[in-house]
């Protein structure tokens, strides 16, 4: 559902809060390549669609999502493993699952027709603002000097209009659960986490059996704390809808990131925490076997285990390669496979993976891995890679 997907807090793609019971929100983890359609644009005074919970300061949108995110992520990843327990402030970016699903308006219910109109206005505003930002970026790259302040004011005015529509609708229909979920998502996207929390909490109280409300609140607690509430709320979302892969994905990412907290909360040791997170990822994959983003998030998890589980990671990336949707994604996977083969001493396999990478976006990382491979081969007196490889 990537409705108003937002920014990440380091370098990854993540998902965001649900707009309705039909839109589960995914919580990514550092390095995870979960797509986002909108992101904080660096340099802007007003962060448009800001869902600070985890990963990047860069705007990444399809089809360049995997290109930018993976190359940036690997630049960090190749130098160090994931920290044992990420700082809370930098640990949470929320985003939505791919594809927006807006329930059809009930033509016999004026309130539903009105709600549907508000959501469509919200969508239209999002597309319009993205167009303005893209045009401004293109103008700047061409040497123009349009005022960022003017753009920010224009964006803010457009979004203020949408906010007023939500406020007016909820004032007239305070018990409309989906409207509160949607408004909470809108507020969260625009940096008002406390306002979002208020709407989601109201939705939860109005409809305690609605898993989307629990999931969104889990995202909030994962960012603001206490993280133990995130464990509880994601668990409740799973209990209410055990067939939704997003909820397992969110809990897996949270357990993985906050390992010390998870160990205390679940009464587990470190290795058992890793196993729990990985088992949750596998359950999500079982429910969504063709979700490339989910699978790569799972595969990246093996870098952060203590010690790294290289062979398990190799198996996971090999499976991810099978569901990669295009050359950009495939070549991103080849980078990971090359790195793991290099770590395992499989030099010819590493070379073969590097030979499959031709995308210019991966050139720097390919060069770095090739240099590491050459050094490893020199230490074994094995023949170096052929020239130009």
Among 65-74, 133-142, 290-299, the minimum mean pLDDT is found in 65-74
Mean pLDDT throughout 348-361? 96
β-bridge pairing 25-27 and 94-96: antiparallel
Average pLDDT for residues 91-102, to the nearest whole number?
A: 35
pLDDT at 16 over 80: no
Res. 92: pLDDT tops 80: no
Q: Residue 178: which of 186, 251, 48 has the closest Cα?
A: 186
Concatenate the DSSP letters of all residues of 357-374 into one string.
Answer: ---GGGHHHHHHHHHHHH
- pTM recorded for the entire structure: 0.74
Specify the pLDDT at position 170.
97
Q: Is the per-residue pLDDT at 19 higher than 60? A: no
Rounded to the nearest angstrom, the gap between the alpha carbon of residue 118 and the centroid of all alpha carbons in its chain is 26
Residue 309 pLDDT exceeds 70: yes
Take residue 233 and report the two structure tokens written for it.
């709320």
Residue % of the chain over a pLDDT of 70: 70
Write the pLDDT tens digit of every residue in 226-259: 999 999 999 999 999 999 999 999 999 999 999 9
What is the dihedral sign for C-alpha 260, 266, 269, 274? Answer: negative
- What token pair was written down for 377? 């081969």
Cα 304 to Cα 70, 111, 115, 256, 334: the distances in Å are: 16, 49, 44, 9, 19
**Section 287-306 average pLDDT:** 95
pLDDT at 91 over 80: no
Pick the more confident residue, 362 or 61.
362
């Amino acid at each position: 559902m990537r409705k108003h997907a937002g920014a990440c807090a380091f370098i990854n793609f993540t998902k965001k809060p649900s707009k309705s019971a039909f839109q589960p929100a995914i919580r990514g983890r550092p390095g995870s390549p979960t797509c986002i359609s909108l992101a904080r644009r660096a340099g802007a005074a007003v962060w448009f669609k800001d869902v600070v919970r985890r990963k990047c300061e860069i705007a990444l949108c399809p089809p360049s999502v995997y290109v930018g995110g993976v190359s940036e992520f690997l630049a960090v990843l190749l130098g160090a493993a994931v920290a044992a327990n990420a700082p809370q402030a930098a640990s949470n970016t929320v985003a939505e699952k791919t594809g927006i699903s807006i329930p059809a308006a009930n033509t016999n219910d004026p309130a539903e027709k009105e709600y549907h109109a508000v959501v469509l206005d919200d969508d239209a505003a999002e597309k319009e603002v993205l167009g303005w930002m893209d045009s401004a970026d293109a103008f700047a790259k061409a040497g123009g000097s349009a005022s960022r302040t003017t753009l920010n004011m224009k964006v803010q005015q457009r979004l203020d209009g949408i906010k007023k529509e939500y406020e007016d609708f909820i004032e007239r229909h305070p018990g409309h659960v989906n409207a509160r979920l949607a408004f909470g998502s809108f507020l969260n996207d625009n940096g008002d986490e406390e306002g979002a929390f208020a709407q989601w909490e109201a939705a939860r109280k109005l409809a305690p059996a609605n898993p989307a409300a629990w999931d969104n609140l889990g995202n909030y607690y994962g960012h603001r704390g206490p993280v133990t509430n995130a464990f509880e709320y994601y668990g409740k979302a799973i209990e209410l809808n055990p067939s939704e892969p997003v909820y397992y994905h969110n809990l897996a990412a949270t357990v993985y990131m906050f390992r010390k907290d998870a160990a205390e909360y679940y009464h587990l040791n470190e290795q058992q925490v890793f196993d729990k997170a990985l088992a949750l990822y596998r359950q999500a994959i079982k429910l969504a076997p063709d979700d490339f983003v989910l699978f790569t998030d799972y595969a990246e998890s093996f870098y952060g285990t203590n010690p790294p589980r290289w062979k398990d990671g190799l198996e996971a990336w090999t499976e991810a390669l099978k569901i990669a949707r295009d050359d950009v994604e495939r070549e991103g996977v080849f980078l990971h496979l090359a790195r793991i083969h290099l770590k395992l001493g499989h030099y010819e396999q590493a070379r073969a993976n590097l030979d499959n990478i031709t995308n210019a976006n991966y050139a720097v990382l390919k060069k770095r891995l090739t240099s590491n491979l050459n050094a490893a081969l020199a230490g074994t007196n094995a023949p170096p890679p052929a020239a130009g490889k």
